[in-house]
């Protein structure tokens, strides 16, 4: 099969499309013919080896995972002898787990990964763009216990996590202020944002409005500045993780004035089933910036790494 392979950390140029052996299904796995995958922030960071902790996870000198791709949509090609929840021919979508590997024509994944059957009305290209971004947004909003009538500000509202955060916060009944560049204002308004702030013209941390929840969906906002926009006992969510944030987390837990949540999302199968239901009903929809064939994997990495993509970058391994 064809796969996008990298054997060393670096720029997008280190990724090459090669012929590699088709994976063999183990007894608790399913083999999926990949109809669509995505290039996420997690993928390009794994390829770049940045931050350095990634190199400790994936190998300092010899890479443990050489095919990236953490979310996919496709059709079950074969099942292991112990698999009962899926059968050959099922259209499925979800995450690969720790193994990655979806930037290929076929991928094997444990059957107990976060995978569900794909609704018939959602094409593979859109289904592949659902799991990581939507599950991350859902997890963080659940951690903040978002409620109807609350005011939520979402920084980085035009990215993969941000576009879903806008839609999910609105679904839960919150009033949403979105922060993005001026070129994406109409996009985030179409997703349900009640107010949009162009960060190139206005610093949201200096405005007078206050919020129950501030969600930094790109990990670039400063908590020390952002807390000025929080109501007393308000919650600051961020996908970023760093030692300074860990220190601030301890301080906020002691003071009790605000709540700071900086963590790795821990989605569940039930969460993805909810996302599938919401997508099937049209309550949320994936935003796709561009779709690339596998042969243009480097261009897909380049776009994802700019930090200015709209929603998701989709990859089509099969022409």
pLDDT per residue of the chain (319 residues) written in tens, 0 to 9 = 999 999 999 999 999 999 999 999 999 999 999 999 999 999 999 999 998 989 999 999 899 999 999 999 999 999 999 999 999 999 999 999 888 999 999 999 999 999 999 999 999 999 999 999 999 999 999 999 999 999 999 999 999 999 999 999 999 999 999 999 999 999 999 999 999 999 999 999 999 999 999 999 999 999 989 999 999 999 999 999 887 888 788 888 887 889 999 988 999 999 999 999 999 999 999 999 999 999 999 999 999 999 889 999 999 997 6
Strands 211-216 and 230-238: parallel
Q: Of 287, 278, 39, give the one whose Cα is nearest residue 158.
A: 287
What tokens were used for 182?
């001026």
* Residue 145: CB atoms within 10 Å: 12
- 3-state percent breakdown (helix, strand, coil) of the chain, nearest 5: 35, 30, 40
Most distant CA atoms of the chain, gap in Å: 60
Strand intervals (E) in 156-303 = 175-180, 195-198, 211-216, 230-238, 259-262, 288-293
Q: Per DSSP, what are the bridge partners of residue 117? A: 92
In this predicted structure, what is the pLDDT of residue 272? 98
Rounded distance, CA 219 to CA 237, Å? 9
Q: Which CATH superfamily is domain 132-262 in?
A: NAD(P)-binding Rossmann-like Domain (3.40.50.720)
Q: For helices 160-171 and 131-143, give the axis angle rounded to 10 degrees.
A: 50
Q: Which two tokens stand for residue 199?
A: 């960060």
Residues sharing a CB contact under 8 Å with residue 183, sequence separation 6 or more, in sequence order = none
> Is beta strand 29-38 parallel, antiparallel or unpaired with respect to 312-316?
antiparallel
Q: Measured between alpha carbons, how far is 227 from 211 in angstroms, rounded to an integer? A: 9
Question: What residues does 235 pair with on adjacent strands?
Answer: 213, 259
Residue 233's SS3 state is strand
CA 30 vs CA 39, 87, 297: distances in Å: 22, 9, 25
Domain positions in the chain: 2-130+286-316, 132-262
Measure Cα distances from 74 to 17, 108, 116, 131, 245 in Å. Answer: 20, 11, 11, 13, 38
Q: Residue 145 belongs to what H/E stretch?
A: none
Q: What is the pLDDT of residue 319?
A: 60
Query: Could you give phi then psi for residue 35, rounded to 5 degrees?
Result: -90, -30
Contact 237, 265 (CB under 8 A): no
pLDDT of residue 307: 85
Structure confidence at residue 234 (pLDDT) = 96
For the record, the structure tokens of 172 come out as 């839960």
Q: Helix or strand or coil: residue 54?
A: helix
Helix (H) or strand (E) holding 118: none
Q: What is the pTM of this model?
A: 0.95
Assigned CATH topology for domain 2-130+286-316: Quinone Oxidoreductase; Chain A, domain 1 (3.90.180)
């Amino acid at each position: 099969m064809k796969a996008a392979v990298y054997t060393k950390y670096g720029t997008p140029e280190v990724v090459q499309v090669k012929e590699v052996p088709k994976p063999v299904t183990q007894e608790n796995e399913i083999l999926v013919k990949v109809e669509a995958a995505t290039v996420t922030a997690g993928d390009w960071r794994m390829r770049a080896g940045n931050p350095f902790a990634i190199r400790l996870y994936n190998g300092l000198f010899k890479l443990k995972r050489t095919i990236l791709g953490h979310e996919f949509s496709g059709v079950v090609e074969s099942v292991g002898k112990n698999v009962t929840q899926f059968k050959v021919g099922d259209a499925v979508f979800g995450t690969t787990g720790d193994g990655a590997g979806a930037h290929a024509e076929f991928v094997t994944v444990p059957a107990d990964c976060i995978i569900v059957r794909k609704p018939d009305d959602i094409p593979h290209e859109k289904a592949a763009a659902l799991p990581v971004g939507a599950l991350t947004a859902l997890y963080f909003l659940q951690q903040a216990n978002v409620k109807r009538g609350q005011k939520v500000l979402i920084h980085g509202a035009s990215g993969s996590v941000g576009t879903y955060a806008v839609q999910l916060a609105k679904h839960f009944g919150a009033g949403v202020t979105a922060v993005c560049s001026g070129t994406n204002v109409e996009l985030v308004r179409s997703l349900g944002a009640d107010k949009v702030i162009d960060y190139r013209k206005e610093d949201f941390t200096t405005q007078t409005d206050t919020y129950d929840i501030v969600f930094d969906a790109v990990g670039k906002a400063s908590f020390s500045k952002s807390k000025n926009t929080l109501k007393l006992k308000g919650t600051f969510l961020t996908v970023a993780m760093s030692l300074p944030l860990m220190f601030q987390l301890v301080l906020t837990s002691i003071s009790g004035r605000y709540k700071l949540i900086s963590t790795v999302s821990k989605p569940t199968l039930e969460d993805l089933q909810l996302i599938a239901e919401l997508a099937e009903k049209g309550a949320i929809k994936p935003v796709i910036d561009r779709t690339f064939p596998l042969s243009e994997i480097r261009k897909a990495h380049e776009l994802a790494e700019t930090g200015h993509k709209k929603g998701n970058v989709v990859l089509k391994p099969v022409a």
